[in-house]
Amino acid sequence: MRRPVRIAVTGAAGAISNSLLFKVASGEMLGKDQPVILQLIEMPGRMEALRGLAMELEDCAYPLLHTITLHDNVEDGFNNVHYALLIGARPRGAGMERRDLLESNAEIFSRQGRALNDFANRDVKVLVVGNPANTNALIASRNAPKLSPSQFTALTRLDHNRAKGILANHTGANPRNIGRIVIWGNHSPSQFPDLHHATVLDEPVMGQIDRSWYEEVFIPKIQNRGGEIIAARGLSSAASAAQAVIDHMHDWILGTEPGEIVSMGIVSDGSYGVEKGIIYSFPVRCDYGRYQIVKGLEIGDWARERMKATEAELIEERDAVQHLLPA
């Protein structure tokens, strides 16, 4: 048996974590031979709820669950962690402007970045889920000068999985036989779900669907799926978000299937003409714990315009919190 790895989770008593932690403890994220230590972090007022969740985890008697520790601050919670799942964030309150949301989360994620810098394992891999996820990841990374920006990622795998699921339903294909979907840009309604490179059973998708369905139904559906779920169930996506966290981390750490492309929010190196330094969702492949942007995809003018629009939103978000970022 391997040595256990340490996984920190913020917002650990929240809805996403309630689904996620059981999957992590059962080995769905890191494999059935990898024991885990869960370092669960919550707001001080939520510690009782967290204690209850920890009891339930213990009661499952998972063979891979080595230890659970509970923390009401990130400085203790991030101690020596190999993986950090940053799920807790300040939700948008009534009358709150987008700028206020960005600023209040900037404070939370600056502190988390500093704590990762000072207390986490030097090779820590970080996934930001709490919204606005891309810009929160940027803020955390900029506050962690001892870590590489490539260690910070944002979740767009839920958008990727939604695109795959909805396309499978529309074409009658099994999701397993759909590949090479790309989500470009921000985890927000400005994102661009791109099917130009996608395949069903190795044949191009665009030859098998109506262009008007793609533009008028599919794209807005993926962009607004989160809102549609809130309207239908009165609560935001939780189980599907947890599955996406599992998929993102699993692929990053253990590798993508041969030939497969997945979408991850990562620091831009300027590929495809995207502004350097912002956290933008790109097509990637992963191997040996590293991700690499898939280069050379042909981008037409129509697609380029959509990639630019979501890039512009991320630049605007970055500029709105610039005064809070260390130089």
Which chain residues interact with ligand NAX by CB under 6 A?
10-11, 13-16, 41-43, 46, 87-91, 108, 129-131, 133, 155, 158, 187, 226, 236-238, 241
CB of 211 to ligand NAX, least distance (A): 27
CB closer to ligand NAX out of 209 and 249: 249
Task: Output the residue with the shortest Cβ distance to ligand NAX.
Answer: 14
Our CB check for ligand NAX shows the closer of 178 and 222 to be 222
Active site residue 187: yes
13 is in an annotated binding site: yes
Q: Is 112 annotated as a binding residue?
A: yes
Question: What's the per-residue H, E or C state across the chain?
Answer: CCCCEEEEEECCCCHHHHHHHHHHHCCCCCCCCCCEEEEEECCHHHHHHHHHHHHHHHHCCCCCEEEEEEECCHHHHCCCCCEEEECCCCCCCCCCCHHHHHHHHHHHHHHHHHHHHHHCCCCCEEEECCCCHHHHHHHHHHCCCCCCHHHEEECCHHHHHHHHHHHHHHHCCCHHHEECCEEEECCCCCCEEECCCCEECCEEHHHCCCHHHHHHHHHHHHHCHHHHHHHHHCCCCCHHHHHHHHHHHHHHHHCCCCCCCEEEEEECCCHHHCCCCCEEEEEEEEECCEEEECCCCCCCHHHHHHHHHHHHHHHHHHHHHHHHCCC
Return the number of the residue (129 or 144) whose C-beta is nearest ligand NAX. Answer: 129
Residue with smaller CB distance to ligand NAX, 135 or 256: 135
In the complex, least distance from residue 266 CB atom to ligand NAX, rounded to whole angstroms: 14
The reply to whether 16 sits in an annotated binding site is yes
Catalytic residue among 160, 187, 197, 248: 187
Q: Least distance (Å) from ligand NAX to the CB of residue 61?
A: 25
**Least distance from ligand NAX to the Cβ atom of residue 256, Å:** 19
Q: Which residues are annotated as a binding site for NAD(+)?
A: 11-17, 105, 112, 129-131
Give the residue numbers marked as catalytic: 187
